[in-house]
Amino acid sequence: MNRALKMVAFVGLGFAALAAAPIHAQGFGGTKQQVTLQRKLPAIIHLPGDTIKVSVTTADEDGALPYDFQALLETELLKDQPNLRIDDNPAVFINCNITEYSHPDPVYTQRGVSGSTGSAIGDIVNGAAKATSTERITGEMYVSFQAKTPDGKMLISDNVSSTYDREFDSAGNSAEHGVMGSVTGTFGRMKGGKKSEQINPPTPAELRSILINGTVQQIAEHVVDTDEKIDVLLAQKNGVLDEGDKQAEAGLWERALETYETAQPFPKPEEDAYRLYNVGVAYEALAYQADDEKTAMKFLDQASVNYGKAADAKPAEKYFVEPQKRIETAITHYKQLDEEAAREKAAAAAAAQAALNPPKPPAPPVAPVTTPKGLSNAQVIDMVKSGMADDTIILTIRGAKLVNFDLTAAGQQALKTNGVSAPVVTAMKTRAARRPATSAAAKPPATSKPTSSQ
């Protein structure tokens, strides 16, 4: 057999394998059916200006990592914001710290595969049991970030992460796809299919890019409005699922949802899981099309419920994992949006209340009232004990503006006991009996009675 005939036979056998596979059973099929969702998420915070500055630090030895991360983050932040620009004197600083970046070497394991589930077409043709090796690729990145104004006001602070964990068989096909994924992947590479990178193991550079893009996207969703296209798989089966899939591909998501929900559930839970999955996709699509956040949250909750039911009914279906992660991210985003709106509302209410009832200025300090004490018995005794002459003491008493003498019997006895002479005590009595000058001046002058003439 010449080479051309061999190739024809090889291709023919490949399609025979495809035809023999249960492509009309509930599932995602060998030829994956995708729809594109337009996910628009409003920013959690409001930037107080149109300039930003991004800085990235990391403890990793890869010196190029922070530069690549910064470049991709700046691109993501600016792509949908025509008025936003990078500036060295910005309105907002966005500081990122890559706290962990890990990409371990691939892990290889041996797996026994029968002819009906083998990954290579030759195995299918021969029907022989054959052990094949699988390659597991993993990686993770964790980033903490802050957005704050030049005066130090914190706008937002959070942690984001991106992880990768997939297995591939020895032919380079995704081991998660089974035989149909393997055959599709083989022909995709033969034809140079544009989606072959989705089923081939990523190179270290590609894995690095996947992890960076995953975290960059999450940071951007916090800071600016984002508009992202997401390719989502649809489960297939002749009948209602295919009918709903056609409506979904046409963008008629309300009709598709009605078709999926009103369809008779499949008898087995693991079969009905795919119908529930499609219900989740329809709700997710409607959430991204919603005009208000309340409606979006309602649809996202319904999507999460149905994705969860699908995963519970068939835990082995790996295609149910990613939608759950995606929907959880969207729900968390809207919850953070609600929390931020509540904080802004509370701050605005406090400011309005303060404007209506401004705080009263503090009262000026009141000077303490001091009552002048005047010259006292103790001071007179001190002058006597210091050896001052009585004449001098008497002159001091007479010239005092105020006196506060204790001239009771007990007070006079104390004066005498301490050596105060009688002339000094007399002077004290005379001064104490004298009214203050102000009081004398205030007293109206006495009027003389007119004398009668004789």
Residue with tokens 């009262």, as numbered in its chain: 363
Q: Of 92-96, 119-123, 266-270, where does mean pLDDT reach its minimum?
A: 119-123
State the chain's mean pLDDT as an integer. 79
C-alpha distances out from residue 219 to 38, 185, 215, 241, Å: 18, 33, 6, 36
Taking a C-beta distance cutoff of 8 angstroms, is the pair 95, 53 a contact? no
Q: What is the pLDDT of residue 7?
A: 42
Residue 188 has pLDDT above 90, yes or no: no
- In angstroms, the CA 421 to CA 427 distance is 10
Q: What is the pLDDT of residue 48?
A: 93
Mean pLDDT for 151-174 is 85
Taking a C-beta distance cutoff of 8 angstroms, is the pair 131, 110 a contact? yes
Please state the three-class secondary structure of the chain as a single string. Answer: CCHHHHHHHHHHHHHHHHHHCCCCCCECCCCCEEEEEEEEECCCCCCCCCEEEEEEEECCCCCCHHHHHHHHHHHHHHCCCCCCEECCCCCEEEEEEEEEEECCCCEEEEEEECHHHCCCHHHHHHCCCEEEEEEEEEEEEEEEEEEECCCCCEEEEEEEEEEEEEEEECCCCEHHHHHHHHHHHHHHHHHCCCCHHHCCCCCHHHHHHHHHHHHHHHHHHHHCCEEEEEEEEECECCCHHHHHHHHHHCCCHHHHHHHHHHCCCCCCHHHHHHHHHHHHHHHHHHHHHCCCHHHHHHHHHHHHHHHHHHHHHCCCCHHHHHHHHHHHHHHHHHHHHHHHHHHHHHHHHHHHHHHHCCCCCCCCCCCCCCCCCCEEHHHHHHHHHCCCCHHHHHHHHHHCCCEECCCCHHHHHHHHHCCCCHHHHHHHHHHHHCCCHHHHHHCCCCCCCCCCCC
Q: What is the pLDDT of residue 4?
A: 45
Q: Which residue has the higher pLDDT, 350 or 418?
A: 418
Q: What is the pLDDT of residue 171?
A: 64
- In angstroms, the CA 114 to CA 120 distance is 11
Please choose, from the candidates 34, 17, 18, the residue with its C-alpha nearest in 3D space to the C-alpha of residue 236: 34
pLDDT tens-digit series, residues 59-92: 766 678 999 999 999 999 999 899 999 999 999 9
| Both tokens assigned to 348 | 């605005």
Taking a C-beta distance cutoff of 8 angstroms, is the pair 184, 121 a contact? no
- The residues that bridge with 142 in the sheet, in sequence order, are 100, 161
Percent of the chain at pLDDT > 70 equals 76
Q: What is the pLDDT of residue 184?
A: 32
Mean pLDDT for 432-449 is 54
pLDDT tens-digit series, residues 339-396: 877 887 887 888 888 788 877 777 777 666 555 578 889 999 999 988 888 888 888 8
Q: What is the pLDDT of residue 334?
A: 83
Residue 17 has pLDDT above 50, yes or no: no
Q: Of 249-263, 404-418, 435-449, where does mean pLDDT reach its minimum?
A: 435-449
pLDDT tier at 130, thresholds 50, 70, 90: low
Q: Of 134-143, 279-288, 369-378, where does mean pLDDT reach its minimum?
A: 369-378
Residue with tokens 């149910």, as numbered in its chain: 320
Please choose, from the candidates 258, 256, 257, 277, the residue with its C-alpha nearest in 3D space to the C-alpha of residue 266: 277
Q: What is the pLDDT of residue 123?
A: 47
Q: Tell me the range of 25-29, 56-60, 293-297, 331-335 where mean pLDDT is highest.
A: 293-297
Taking a C-beta distance cutoff of 8 angstroms, is the pair 134, 153 a contact? no
Taking a C-beta distance cutoff of 8 angstroms, is the pair 317, 309 a contact? no
- In angstroms, the CA 181 to CA 234 distance is 15
Residue 221 has pLDDT above 60, yes or no: yes
Q: Tell me the range of 10-24, 26-40, 269-283, 312-326 where mean pLDDT is highest.
A: 269-283
Q: What is the pLDDT of residue 299?
A: 94
| Both tokens assigned to 405 | 């003498």
Mean pLDDT for 292-310 is 92
Q: Which residue has the higher pLDDT, 444 or 360?
A: 360
| Residue 391 identity | D
CA 69 from chain centre, in angstroms, equals 20
Q: What is the pLDDT of residue 255?
A: 96
Q: What is the pLDDT of residue 318?
A: 84
- Domains and their CATH numbers in the chain: 230-348 (1.25.40.10), 375-434 (no CATH)
pLDDT tier at 25, thresholds 50, 70, 90: low
Taking a C-beta distance cutoff of 8 angstroms, is the pair 138, 104 a contact? yes
Mean pLDDT for 29-55 is 89
Mean pLDDT for 313-333 is 87
Residue 213 has pLDDT above 80, yes or no: yes
Q: Of 18-32, 43-57, 111-125, 363-377, where does mean pLDDT reach its minimum?
A: 111-125
Q: What is the pLDDT of residue 305?
A: 94
Q: What is the pLDDT of residue 172?
A: 60
Q: What is the pLDDT of residue 148?
A: 95
- In angstroms, the CA 138 to CA 136 distance is 7
Residue with tokens 């219900």, as numbered in its chain: 279
Residues contacting 189, CB < 8 A, separation 6+: 172, 196, 200
Residue 294 has pLDDT above 70, yes or no: yes
pLDDT tier at 175, thresholds 50, 70, 90: low
